[in-house]
Structure 1
Amino acid sequence: MHTAVPETPAVAVQLTGREPLFLVMNSRSGKQDSEATRQAIRTACAEAGRRCELLVVERGADLASAARKAVTLAREQGGIVVAVGGDGTLNAVCQAVVGQGVPFGVLPQGTFNYFGRAHGISQDTGQAMHDLLNARLEHISLGQINGRYFLVNASLGLYPQLLEDREEYKQRYGRSRWIALVAALVTLARAHRQLDITLEHGGRHERLRTPTLVVCNNALQLKHIGVDPALPDNRDHLVALASRPVGTGALYLLLLQGLLSRMGEAENVISFGFENLTVRPNARPRMVEVAVDGEILRMRTPLTFRIAPHVLPLLIPRSAPTPEHP
């Protein structure tokens, strides 16, 4: 069962360029060799004259405690907390960082790395370390679901099943985008239940039957699948994506359109931007499975989504453009 974290206001953070680094590393993330990654980190810090401490975990369940320890050390010693891993690892460490007044850095190690790529962070560890040690600070906005922050997306229905099957295929055959695609094709071939939900946002109530609902906080992911929803103003928004009830053939077509960056053209796709959204299952199950940045959680309904403006003090390369919002 998921326990919501309280909303935390943004805390002002500044850099001196001399901060020690406390790195939380998931040794099982990504395709890269774990020891080579550690060595690249140590070498970059030594060459820059910066102190670093690696907190390496072997299990995802240990990430939260390691993140809390890293935050405590960073607060005591005026340091930076760095997450080393895929989007799920970055999410776990982020929960401990928000509101604590310490900068947050990332070294992407996963398969897709949408969060790092959206902020111009290299997937090469050596380059990412060089950029991190010379970074600038940008306070970015996060999504929230029932109080838990997310960096990329949160979803229910078919999408969590896609992620579970993808992880099983990765364990068997290795981590690559082609393996992820094959896993998706197998998942879509099965029969699926439709979600029967009511969406409440902007003073409106809308009943919807759909195989899946995805809430996105990543402009790069939306761009890659070809969705560009009209947003009412320049404020930060989350973007909801769903499809009308469709069969297996239509799901395959949606997948193809997404691969071709043309999902927004599909007549079965619904998308809209929002700041606050409540999702109520009409069958009223108390608990539902939700995928949050690739990790499957059980959450109590109703599900409440909101944008949390400028709460994460993220270190990004000096050459990176100002981050885009969905």
Structure 2
Amino acid sequence: MPAPLFIILNAGSGHAETELQRTTIEDLLTAAGREFELAVVDQAGELADIARHMAGRACEAGGVLVAAGGDGTINTVARQAVESGCQFGVLPQGTFNYFGRTHHIPEDLGEAVQALLTARVESVQVGLVNERVFLVNASIGLYPRLLEEREIDKKQFGRSRLVALLSALKTVLGSYRHLHITVELNGKTRTLRTPTLFVGNNRLQMEQVGFAPLAERIEDGKLAALAPQPVGKLGMLALLARGALGRLADAPNLHAFGLTRMTVRQRGLAGRRRMKVAIDGEITHLDAPLVFRVLEGQLLLLKPVQASAQAGVEQMALAS
């Protein structure tokens, strides 16, 4: 029998939209005869506890833990899938959906549910920062502040990629402090002064900003790190423009490297032992130093069967 699905739906988009998402999931799975249990999360603070409970239920039943929401929701649920060892499914419902798009999971909810029904299990790489899972990226410095401002603007103007872009421009043109950090990498220590340190674990995101070589390193079991040198507001605007055009690799004064493990300390903390970190779009505080590392093969993701692969099998059958 197909494994039962234990689905967590984040209601962050509002009641009407959440009700439509809930009925879409329930109707399609009922019509397919698939056993499932659906939990709707109304309060963001309850997400982690509900994810932990549903992961336990999935393990007991030999089932699949499924996250329906944006990259932040997917991260929280995936953390429980990694810790419990159960299989993991995704129904992307966010603004950017980097994780879902990287693994060719449809953004349309109905199509994503149908794809989940025939998906195959494949182990995928996740990143860790101080043992906290990240699927897309983790960062310190300006980028977490950018995300905080973006959430404020989205509540006022709505969720869209245009709002996200305009919010980023506003943040970059404002005032912010540069980080002064030491980085231990491959047995060597280097000092960096940078507005932000960005560590990526998503091939699609790296390709979109123009770092195809680093994207390939992610496929080879590494994380990708970016740290611009202090360049002023106009320089940061130029970096944003290059990233939007997919030409960030051509930018001068930008440190870019692959890693499997890296320790980061902030100089001049003056007794402060916690650092603000953005993890897959969610802001948290972690104890210093920060240790970034790769965790390979620990997330058992249900990935859709690709149409190209099916076509290849059919062509081979016809040829024989």
TM-score by length of 2: 0.92
2:299 equivalent among 312, 318, 323: 312
Structure-2 residue corresponding to 1:150: 134
**Which ranges in structure 1 are unaligned for 5 or more consecutive residues?**
1-15
For CA contacts below 8 A with separation 6 or more, give which structure has more relative contact order: 1
Indicate the SS of the match to 2:111: helix
* Deviation for aligned residue 1:259: 0.5
1:299 equivalent among 278, 286, 296: 286
Structure-1 residue corresponding to 2:146: 162
2:227 equivalent among 236, 242, 267: 242
Residue 286 (str. 1) matches residue 273 (str. 2): yes
Spell out, residue by residue over 1:250-289, the C-alpha distance to the aligned partner (whole angstroms, 9 max, x if none): 1111001110000111012211000000001111331111
Q: 1:93 to 1:228 in 2, by over 3 A?
A: same
Structure 1 moving runs of 4+ over 2 Å: 29-32, 228-235
Residue 269 (str. 1) matches residue 251 (str. 2): no
Aligned equivalents of 1:101, 1:217: Cα separation in 2: 20
1:172-191 map, 5 Å: 172-191=156-175
CA RMSD of superposed structures (Å): 1.9
Indicate the SS of the match to 1:98: helix
Q: Is the 8 A contact 1:74 1:80 kept in 2?
A: yes
Q: Is the 8 A contact 2:218 2:224 kept in 1?
A: no
Moved more, 269-278 or 226-235: 226-235
Structure-1 residue corresponding to 2:313: none
**Which ranges in structure 2 are unaligned for 5 or more consecutive residues?**
310-320
1:118 equivalent among 89, 93, 102: 102
Indicate the SS of the match to 1:253: helix
Q: Is the 8 A contact 2:126 2:298 kept in 1?
A: yes
Q: Is the 8 A contact 1:121 1:317 kept in 2?
A: yes
Structure-2 residue corresponding to 1:25: 9
Structure with the bigger percentage of helix: 2
Spell out, residue by residue over 1:19-40, the C-alpha distance to the aligned partner (whole angstroms, 9 max, x if none): 1111111111499911111111
Structure-2 residue corresponding to 1:101: 85
Aligned equivalents of 1:276, 1:123: Cα separation in 2: 32
1:141 equivalent among 120, 125, 131: 125
Indicate the SS of the match to 2:54: helix
Moved more, 293-302 or 311-320: 311-320
Residue 255 (str. 1) matches residue 240 (str. 2): yes
Aligned equivalents of 1:24, 1:279: Cα separation in 2: 34
Q: Is the 8 A contact 2:217 2:224 kept in 1?
A: no
Q: Is the 8 A contact 1:22 1:80 kept in 2?
A: yes
Q: 1:288 to 1:119 in 2, by over 3 A?
A: same
Aligned equivalents of 1:308, 1:28: Cα separation in 2: 29
Aligned equivalents of 2:85, 2:239: Cα separation in 1: 42
Indicate the SS of the match to 2:163: helix
Indicate the SS of the match to 1:272: strand
* Deviation for aligned residue 1:192: 1.4
Structure-1 residue corresponding to 2:65: 81
Which has the higher Rg, Structure 1 or Structure 2?
Answer: 2
TM-score by length of 1: 0.90
* Deviation for aligned residue 1:293: 0.3
Indicate the SS of the match to 1:33: helix
Code of the residue aligned with 1:286 in structure 2: it is R
